[in-house]
Amino acid sequence: MSAKPNTPGNRKFLLLSIISVIGFIAAIFVNVLFPQLADIKIIPYTFFGEKLTLDMNETYRYVLIGIILMYLGIAAFSATTPERRRKFQNRVAFRFAIGLVVALWDILGTKLLYLQQPFFPGPAKIVEAFLMETPYIITNTLYSLRLFTFGFLAGILFGIGTGILIGLFPKIYYWVFPVLKITGVIPAVAWMPFALTLSPTPFIAAVFLVVICAWFPIAFQTAQGIASTPKIHFEVARTLGAKTSFLMFRVAIPHALPNIFTGISMANGYAFTTLVMSEMMGQPGGLGYYINASRVWSAYYKVFAAIIVMAIMFSLIMRLIAFIQGKVLRWQKGLLNG
């Protein structure tokens, strides 16, 4: 049960919520009040005819306001339960520090240009990339998301299937596991020349690389989970007349689910890295392609914009995996709490 209104605990939580956003409020004041001493060209961009005209500094301030409102909304949501309050309070100092870092970055990278240019642009300049090329960034993001979805889901299915066969059948283990150990340690990008040569399109080649890098950790963790299933469980099931399909789907796989999700979480990072690298080396689109094209023209503020999009997308994918894991393995909560 949450604390009652106007209690010391609630007042403390309100104070911590305000402290969370003070750094970003300071960043807004820095952008408005600190003089622009460096000579940079600030271009206004017009949207929807002449109804909305913004430059990079104005847009940057709107982004900061959006972050402040987001954190205040999270604070209001977190106040509903003690567990959420604890999680929110644990990140107060980090959020405060990030706001101050952004303010300092704005001074050094935009107002004074003390940071080496064009390699380290200020945050307002990075925001300008979204002003200039939002549709193009969205197009490349969707391309990356489509490629990742096809490759990662195929890697999950292939990895789980391989792991189950290795874990359950000794003969398959004898022939396949050595291949898994040998090929698993080879970086997926090492297969890129073969993938580009043998695949009919660059998209299929990139999907193949994502499948390969996701396959190894998922297959390895699944096989370990299957192999660690206590033999007594199989013996009891066989005594009750269970067939092989029952042993697989009702005994071995449920026991291996924690390992399977561990493998999926590990594979997610490998797959995302491989995705970006493959896009930088032969894809007609995607965030990696966008980074490479921007780098060629020394538009490093666009590179940072793509990196921010990738960080957000990767974080959302990890949250989705954690959400699914929490639903599938909800029985673990009671076990751990007990």
- Ranges of each domain in the chain: 8-115, 132-337
Please give the angle made by the CA atoms of 41, 42 and 43, to the nearest 5 degrees.
Answer: 110
User: Which CATH class, in words, describes the domain spanning 132-337?
Assistant: mainly alpha
Task: Report, as ranges of residue numbers, the positions in the chain whose pLDDT lies below 50.
Answer: 1-3, 336-338
Residue 47 has phi, psi (to 5 degrees) of -125, 150
- At 240, is the secondary structure helix, strand, or coil? coil
- The rounded distance, in Å, linking the Cα atoms of 279 and 271 is 12
Type of residue numbered 165: L
Q: pLDDT at position 252, please?
A: 85
Instruction: Please list, in sequence order, all residues whose beta carbon lies within 8 angstroms of the beta carbon of residue 135, skipping any fewer than 6 positions away.
Output: none
123: closest CA among 87, 92, 98? 98
212: closest CA among 193, 198, 197, 192? 192
Which residue has tokens 């929807």?
Answer: 48
Measured torsion, CA atoms of residues 99, 105, 111, 113, in degrees rounded to the nearest 10: 180
Instruction: Kindly list the distances between the CA atom of residue 49 and the CA atoms of 52, 106, 135, 337, in Å, as whole numbers in the listed order.
Output: 7, 30, 17, 58
Q: pLDDT at position 254, please?
A: 87
Q: pLDDT at position 144, please?
A: 94
Q: pLDDT at position 48, please?
A: 62
pTM of the model: 0.85
Q: pLDDT at position 50, please?
A: 65
Q: pLDDT at position 3, please?
A: 46
Instruction: Please list, in sequence order, all residues whose beta carbon lies within 8 angstroms of the beta carbon of residue 188, skipping any fewer than 6 positions away.
Output: 209, 210, 212, 213, 270, 274
Q: pLDDT at position 154, please?
A: 95
Q: pLDDT at position 34, please?
A: 93
Q: pLDDT at position 338, please?
A: 46
Whether omega for the bond prior to residue 118 falls within 30 degrees of 0, making it cis, is: yes
Written as six digits, the tokens of 9 are 């605990």
Q: pLDDT at position 231, please?
A: 82
- Longest distance between any two alpha carbons in the chain, whole Å: 82
E strands of the chain, at which residues? 45-47, 52-54
Written as six digits, the tokens of 68 are 């402040």
Q: pLDDT at position 40, please?
A: 76
The answer to whether residues 237 and 251 touch, using CB atoms and an 8 Å cutoff, is: yes
